[in-house]
Structure 1
């Protein structure tokens, strides 16, 4: 199936997801804590996931399925193409009544993302990309920001990533730090030129990253794990070893400063 046709399907699905999620009020939606400290889930997450799990596999019955809110199984590993879905990325933000949560939808083919959508319905922002087709926000082409000195760069990252144990010489580089709760939204803001980079050194779930991976690459940026290895998706254990996504120059400068044997962390 051509990536452009998959993208059309993902855009339709993301808009339908937004229609469902907006029927709920985050602060009053039923909420449960997942086992093993995996964070919260709300009735809105489950409702969106149920719709997507009915809609997308019906449209592409030969694709595998990986979603944060679906029980995983190994059937997806034998598929050339797989949906990688986060029904609501930034559930804590949603539950608190913030608008910085997103639907993150992607298709990966043999480990490489080929179609992707990140949709923030409360902000009326729909980011989209297909392999070789460019990156867009609300239909307008986007690209990463022009190179600049790392000291002037605006980087989205959590405070624990600045711990001295992660940086050569025990000193993190100087830059302007900001934070957004949704990893997908952080990646989108780098892709649209709003920030120079996003950085997370913890192990990260594929469904948080997959859509932003393609969006960032199609916008002219670079993305890798914390050891500067390419990201591949639909792994048996769907976890990535951190994420560094940036303009090419900022990506280079961050890896000149990162300690390659530093531990991964939460953040």
Structure 2
């Protein structure tokens, strides 16, 4: 089944890229979501409509969870579900940056089985299916082989370094870098350009699902902040943070967290 779904996700992502790039980020109509949930643009809605129509028509028995669709809970009765962020990194899109992405995944009984993260402005398409490895534009990718956390570069927002998050209130030594899109952070870790990524806040499934499988299939690990496996299609579609990376560095991060 993963091999059956992956070509569908790849085709849908490329079409989504053409739709999104037909809008001009800085001039696309935008508004703010209620309760400080961040911005949304007409491009987000157009891509969501396109993906919903394309994917659900192809797999009418799959459920649907998307940042830009009302969640009715109907998906909870389905064995398989699409988990979609039409544009991950909307602020980057609005600013005219190229680091926003389409994040598309299929989860079966809580486990992601096929995934795509596509950055149309950079022509970077990351893909994975269970047991088949991960690729970037068709070429295999692997996580970093560095073993020492002290030598690692970790993608994380600055608040993750606050001392109270760490055992003994002592932040371990590593180099920090940052990208706004969580899906892209996970993909960069899968590519081996960074040793690990983490976010310690509750994280929406649609930000994480695709990138987590890509990182895992590239030889890394992807867990919640306590080291537990990630499970998807939850009634409350939020995860307890995410830590992902090459095995030794990922394990060292989780061990150091309070």
Where in structure 1 are there 5+ consecutive unaligned residues? 260-267
Give the whole-Å Cα distance in 2 for the aligned partners of 1:258 and 1:240.
16
Give the whole-Å Cα distance in 1 for the aligned partners of 2:198 and 2:89.
16
Equivalence for 1:130: 129
List per-residue Cα deviations over 1:64-112 (Å, max 9, x = no partner). 0000000001110000000000000000000011000000000000000
Equivalence for 2:3: 4
Look up the SS of the partner of 1:251 in the other structure: helix
- Equivalences for residues 13-32 of structure 1 within 5 A: 13-32=12-31
Give the whole-Å Cα distance in 2 for the aligned partners of 1:123 and 1:15.
12
- Equivalences for residues 37-186 of structure 1 within 5 A: 37-186=36-185
1:255 to partner: Cα distance: 2.0
Where in structure 2 are there 5+ consecutive unaligned residues? none
List per-residue Cα deviations over 1:112-156 (Å, max 9, x = no partner). 000000000000100000011110000000010112321110100
Runs of 4 or more above 2 Å deviation: none
Equivalence for 1:248: 247
State the TM-score, normalizing by the size of structure 1: 0.96
Equivalence for 2:192: 193
Give the whole-Å Cα distance in 2 for the aligned partners of 1:98 and 1:10.
24
Look up the SS of the partner of 2:121 in the other structure: helix
State the TM-score, normalizing by the size of structure 2: 0.99
Give the whole-Å Cα distance in 2 for the aligned partners of 1:192 and 1:19.
24
Look up the SS of the partner of 2:135 in the other structure: strand
User: Number of paired residues?
Assistant: 258
